[in-house]
Structure 1
Amino acid sequence: MFSWVLLCSTALVPFSAVQAQTVPADLDLVQVTSQVSAPVAIRAPHDGSGRVFVVSQAGSIRIIKDGTLLPTPFLSVPVSYGGESGLLGLAFHPNFGRPGQPHNDEFYVAYNRASGEPRLGSSPDVAVARYTVSAGNPDVANASGTLVLRVPDIASNHNGGDIHFGPDGYLYIATGDGGVQNDTNGFATCLWKKSSDTNPATCGSGTPTYFLMGKILRIDVDTRGGTVSAEMCGSSGIGTAEYSIPTDNPHVGTTNTCDEIWLHGFRNPWRMSFDRQTGDLWIGDVGQGGREEIDLRVNGSTEPLFYGWRCMEGTAVFNSSNVCQPPIPSHVLPVMEYTHAGGRCAITGGFRYRGPIVPLRGMYIFADACTSEIFVGKPNGSGAWTYTVWRDDANGYGTYSGFGEDEAGNLYVAHTSGNRVYRFESKETSDDVIFATGFE
């Protein structure tokens, strides 16, 4: 598993001190590039290079190196681009760039496959593919990748698409409910294959076509090459397995369940992140007509695996019929939520800050992609979370649509519709760094 390491002991801010901290008065967004089309994610490998990789929803990955955007894309991927579809996620293998370590040239992308490629559902698949970096130039990847996992889709929206390696070394994949309003088919609640019949109760019956939607998936990409089992739903149409199922995944050992599923009951978990200090998973789940929510899965939690949708929207009951008939199945409520008052409509999940700006450490920073507000949340003395608006820019759908960290913990945000990437900066900094050093 990962080793969560602190360089210089002063980086760990005591819990009581976090409560007293406030956002520094000079906190600002400093533009680092305006030349990447539709940026949606910012990622960095822990390879000591200092490079920052920017994911363009249009289908390319660009590198910012020594403060300069390199002219040649790191990778270009054929995608279905438009609306919420395109190239959506990037995750570097924990050993990426580490000489002598296995899989040190590998990284993964999540995307909507190009419209001309084979599909499992009525819309292009949401897919995960593995690529490798070029042996001759670490700033350019090999053009051909390996298809690892496919999720059939029914519409172009609610794709999820964020991917991260967790502290256990497994790859986590966020998928949306497919985009049909109210999730009338019950994709987010079904743990098996599901027909598009507008009846959530028919999980596993009829003509099953769709699966793995409205979920957080968890797979072992290092153990591969085996036989595809009947309950490895994401390997449909892929001959030899490109991953295996972790033995402690919650649905291993049961029948008629897709074993990749770790958590379920999400509408569109568009952006998620792991806390580099604790290993906790933070999930921004986009709501429907009334509420946006931030969900939290504490590392090692024994809470229920169901996060509510379509029975719940945030902390409010959304549907009380069919599979949601009271008592609603045991579920986890969000740690923060807000309504659509004032034009808010689409949450952008962020990161719990662990970077060099000392007053921000321990706070969770997120945004709304419609009102262009950036929020700062922090826990109170009892562990409950509250948030305030730090920045409120001009409204416009598709503005602050993705966050990311570099190796030192600096936080970035992508202004998707403006083709800009910003870094959070303040003079109230320290040189100590918390980062994940890799496998033990």
Structure 2
Amino acid sequence: MLRKTSIATAFFATIAVSHAGIGVEQVAKGFERPVWAGVPKGIKGKLWVMEQGGKVWIVDDKTGEHETEPFLDVSQDVTRKGNEEGLLGLAFAPDFAKSGRFYVDYTDKEKQTRIVRFTSKDGKTTDHATEEIILKYPSEFENHNGGWIAFGPDNMLYIGNGDGGAGDDPNKHGQALDTLLAKILRIDVSPEKGYNSPSDNPFVNNKEAKPEIWAYGVRNPWRCSFDRETGDFWIGDVGQNRWEEIDCMPKGTASGANFGWSLREADKQNPNDKRGGPLPDGATDPVYSYNHGMKENEGLSVTGGYVYRGPIKELQGRYVFGDYQNPRIWSFELKNGKASDFKDHTKELQPEGGRINLISSFAEDNDGNLLIVDHTGPIYRVKGN
């Protein structure tokens, strides 16, 4: 995510520009480097928007008006020294409307990643006295922090961590099970304090592995999601120098999954001869990858999205995602484990008289509507025309 710098296949030769009757409408604007938006279960008419610097705002999704005070402000604890550091993820507990509990992921001033639990007593503001740091670990460098967190269909909290930063995974975290970096974690946060590592996590009985690990071999998972209908797990994993990738594991198959980094970049051997290698036994290749560049079918930093389950018929069941630096929006259907019927929606999903500049995240509301978060400030909703 938010970074730098070709698998071009015959598949690209059949790319079609979609002409479905869709467009975008602006929901709100004026945010400072927004990187996430979302809504607690059971709530409509409101949207929570997170700024990378450490604030979360509640917005009326009809008028775009903000509350006068932030829902959360941890800017005093967050570092923004590096472009990819900051407040990066938020997850509402499934029973947020009752418990007020929610979780954030940010890089602190000691270059540590913190997973922090808060409680909102009124649903509008947060009492900092309720803060509890439940997990903390080094980020090492100033990039590849991941930062996605969300509750899965099993009500466990999932956390997406990058490999620690720099380039080519210098400390070889991707394939190592004794570190939380380059991993997807899964923890049980139902206890009143702290958390548990679920007994069915794949490495919980391995004394040489971290019990929180659920899947590994990711480089910088910038926005993951669970399909709200099927429970399938999707990852947008930011690549190194050549490829960007989308990974997908059907529900029930992702526990213990190895996505190959840093032996692999997408479905190719890492060209760095000190890091590259064949696909490990049992590892999984991406369902889709694309070349680095600024053409219509290329990009430089993937932003993972969602399988669309909202009211627009033309998008039903399609995985919608984009690229941050080449701000394009695409979709495809998953058939037999690979991307099919690829479409480019970039032209039709532009605001009237303007353009979407830097796609930092996608979001869903409780009706399945898809939102697009522009890092330069606005939030858009995909609509049918």
Provide the TM-score with structure 2 as the length reference. Answer: 0.86
Residue number in structure 1 paired with 2:332 = 377
Residue 91 of structure 1 aligns to which amino acid in structure 2?
A: A
Tell me, in whole angstroms, the C-alpha distance in 2 between the residues paired with 1:33 and 1:326. Answer: 47
Which of 18, 26, 29 is matched with 1:31 structurally? 26
Task: Confirm or deny that 1:333 pairs with 2:285.
Answer: yes
Residue number in structure 2 paired with 1:401 = 360
Tell me, in whole angstroms, the C-alpha distance in 2 between the residues paired with 1:407 and 1:325. Answer: 43
Task: Confirm or deny that 1:139 pairs with 2:124.
Answer: yes
Q: Please tell me whether the aligned partners of residues 371 and 397 of structure 1 are also in contact (alpha carbons under 8 angstroms).
A: no
Residue number in structure 2 paired with 1:89 = 89
The 5 Å alignment of 1:37-436 reads 37-67=32-62, 68-77=65-74, 78-81=77-80, 82-98=82-98, 104-113=99-108, 115=109, 119=110, 124-134=111-121, 137-144=122-129, 145-192=131-178, 211-223=179-191, 225=193, 242-301=194-253, 305-318=257-270, 325-326=277-278, 328-342=280-294, 344-380=299-335, 382-386=336-340, 387-391=342-346, 399-416=358-375, 418-427=376-385
Tell me, in whole angstroms, the C-alpha distance in 1 between the residues paired with 2:279 and 2:360. Answer: 35
Tell me whether 283-292 or 81-90 shows the greater mean CA deviation.
81-90
Q: Please tell me whether the aligned partners of residues 353 and 411 of structure 1 are also in contact (alpha carbons under 8 angstroms).
A: yes
Any idea what the Cα deviations from partners look like across 1:294-313, whole Å, max 9, x if unmatched? 01121111686210100111
Q: Please tell me whether the aligned partners of residues 57 and 86 of structure 1 are also in contact (alpha carbons under 8 angstroms).
A: yes
Query: Structure 1's 35 and 375: CA in aligned 2 closer, same or farther, altered over 3 A?
Result: same
Tell me, in whole angstroms, the C-alpha distance in 1 between the residues paired with 2:290 and 2:237. Answer: 12
Tell me whether 211-220 or 75-84 shows the greater mean CA deviation.
75-84
Gaps of 5+ in 2: 1-16
Q: Please tell me whether the aligned partners of residues 304 and 332 of structure 1 are also in contact (alpha carbons under 8 angstroms).
A: no
Q: Which has the larger radius of gyration?
A: 1
Any idea what the Cα deviations from partners look like across 1:404-435, whole Å, max 9, x if unmatched? 1111111111110x2111110114xxxxxxxx
3-state DSSP class of the match of 1:249? coil
Gaps of 5+ in 1: 1-21, 99-103, 193-210, 226-241, 428-440
3-state DSSP class of the match of 1:129? strand
Q: Please tell me whether the aligned partners of residues 182 and 218 of structure 2 are also in contact (alpha carbons under 8 angstroms).
A: yes
Provide the TM-score with structure 1 as the length reference. Answer: 0.76
Q: Please tell me whether the aligned partners of residues 311 and 317 of structure 1 are also in contact (alpha carbons under 8 angstroms).
A: yes
Residue 346 of structure 2 aligns to which amino acid in structure 1?
A: R
Q: Please tell me whether the aligned partners of residues 30 and 424 of structure 1 are also in contact (alpha carbons under 8 angstroms).
A: yes
Query: Structure 1's 152 and 377: CA in aligned 2 closer, same or farther, altered over 3 A?
Result: same
Tell me, in whole angstroms, the C-alpha distance in 2 between the residues paired with 1:61 and 1:409. Answer: 21
Residue 90 of structure 2 aligns to which amino acid in structure 1?
A: L
Residue 73 of structure 2 aligns to which amino acid in structure 1?
A: S
Q: Please tell me whether the aligned partners of residues 107 and 139 of structure 2 are also in contact (alpha carbons under 8 angstroms).
A: no
Query: Structure 1's 398 and 160: CA in aligned 2 closer, same or farther, altered over 3 A?
Result: farther
Number of residues of Structure 1 aligned to a counterpart in Structure 2:
354
Tell me, in whole angstroms, the C-alpha distance in 2 between the residues paired with 1:93 and 1:159. Answer: 22
Any idea what the Cα deviations from partners look like across 1:345-394, whole Å, max 9, x if unmatched? 100000100011122110011010011101111134x4531322210579
Tell me, in whole angstroms, the C-alpha distance in 2 between the residues paired with 1:331 and 1:303. Answer: 12
CA apart distance, 1:30: 1.0
